[in-house]
Amino acid sequence: MLLGEHSVVYGHPCLVTAVNQRIYVTVKTITTPKIILNSPDLKIKNYQKEIKQLGQGELAKEVKFVEILIKNFREKFGLTTGLEINTHNDFSTQFGFGSSSAVTVALALALAKLFEIRLSKKQLFTLCYQTILEIQGVGSGFDLAAAIWGGTIYYVMPAKIVKKIPVKNLPILVGYTGIKADTATIVKDLAKRMEENPDLKNNFSKISQLVERAKLALSNRDFASLGELMTANHQLLKNLGVSSKELENLTQASLSAGALGAKLSGAGGGDCMLAVYDKKDQSKSIEQAITQVGGQIMLVKLNAPGAKIENAQNNF
């Protein structure tokens, strides 16, 4: 998330970009009416469940998104056959890069290809968004949109507006606090605080104004302005109470090292932050500043492509 987190949940726009680290999903049909799931990165080996029982009982977080997506796909398209699903990641799911949304999108796309069902990007989004809401209860779907459309996008939930922003390179570093945050819990906690203090909602309209200006700055490759807008967005998120000591340490260290701007990225409470830099040699000093205060630099490229079929055979 570049700008607009939290306000996006309440119908305001945001700017989001896809990262180049990917989740791979392969699927094939099997004769028995059950699913078999193998996800070595999540230490899942030979997980099995009857097709008709998908979504029932207590679901482990690691299998929840796979189960509910297949259940919803089955209800919509009449799936009767069993499935074997294998997944692997380019990265650790601990970093808060939208891995749950990514695996949901990848699996939905693979199933559509396997059963020769044509889905537009919007239809793919709707199927996946239903799954996210069923599991989390809340969510704007911006991470689904990033996974589906790819690149850098201007987004209004639930995919009412998805507009690609033509930008090639984003001079932005990603730092990780070392703390895994729970997005749904943070969103719900903020909702409770806003019930007690409705004035907090005033921050959303201010964030929206920053998003609109940042959209223009991105289009013009005006990264100095983008940095200022991102720092201002961080302050508003801090006003909402979703920052943390670790995020403050990383953003302040980045700014002190010469970053054009810095902010938390995502729900807050931990996970990642962003720092905009001017020149490549400047990025090194910002990286050092982030690591010196306990952060970790994420080696990712932004503005990456969205979900795609890479190796489709008759039976995957």
Instruction: Name which of 7, 2, 5, 11 is nearest 202 in CA terms.
Output: 7
Is the domain of 185 the same as that of 139? no
- Per residue, the 3-state secondary structure of 238-281, as one string, reads HHCCCCCHHHHHHHHHHHHCCCCEEEEECCCCCCEEEEECCCHH
Is the domain of 235 the same as that of 210? yes
Residue 5 lies in a domain: no
CA pair distance 163, 44, nearest whole angstrom: 37
Is the domain of 54 the same as that of 144? yes
According to the model, what pLDDT value does residue 314 have? 44
Is the domain of 122 the same as that of 48? yes
Residue 292 lies in a domain: yes
Is the domain of 69 the same as that of 133? yes
Active site residue 143: yes
Residue 314 lies in a domain: no
According to the model, what pLDDT value does residue 274 have? 98
Mean pLDDT of 25-34: 96
> Which residue, 120, 152, 184, sits at the end of a domain?
152
Residue 12 lies in a domain: no
According to the model, what pLDDT value does residue 312 have? 63
State yes or no: pLDDT of 29 exceeds 80: yes
Q: What average pLDDT does the chain have?
A: 93
Residue 186 lies in a domain: yes
Cα distance from N-terminal residue to C-terminal residue, the chain: 33
- The residue from 41, 90, 143, 189 that is catalytic is 143
According to the model, what pLDDT value does residue 127 have? 97
State yes or no: pLDDT of 102 exceeds 90: yes
Is the domain of 212 the same as that of 263? yes
Instruction: Name which of 132, 150, 149 is nearest 141 in CA terms.
Output: 132
Residue 290 lies in a domain: yes
Query: What CATH number does residue 97 fall under?
Result: 3.30.230.120
Is the domain of 32 the same as that of 145? yes
According to the model, what pLDDT value does residue 168 have? 87
State yes or no: pLDDT of 35 exceeds 80: yes
Is the domain of 289 the same as that of 175? yes
**Residue 183 confidence class, pLDDT cut points 50, 70, 90:** confident
- What domain range includes position 272? 169-298
Is the domain of 65 the same as that of 111? yes
Mean pLDDT of 142-151: 97
> Mean pLDDT lowest for which of 90-94, 123-127, 158-162, 304-308?
90-94
The pLDDT tens digits for 273-316 are: 999 999 877 899 999 999 999 999 998 899 999 999 987 654 33
State yes or no: pLDDT of 52 exceeds 80: yes
Is the domain of 97 the same as that of 211? no
Query: What CATH number does residue 209 fall under?
Result: 3.30.70.890
The pLDDT tens digits for 207-250 are: 999 999 999 999 999 999 999 999 999 999 999 999 999 999 99
State yes or no: pLDDT of 115 exceeds 60: yes
Residue 133 lies in a domain: yes
Domain total of the chain: 2
Is the domain of 143 the same as that of 264? no
> Which residue, 90, 124, 152, sits at the end of a domain?
152
> Which residue, 92, 121, 152, sits at the end of a domain?
152
According to the model, what pLDDT value does residue 316 have? 34
Residue 18 lies in a domain: no
Is the domain of 206 the same as that of 291? yes
Among left, alpha and beta (phi > 0; psi -120 to 50; other), residue 73 is alpha
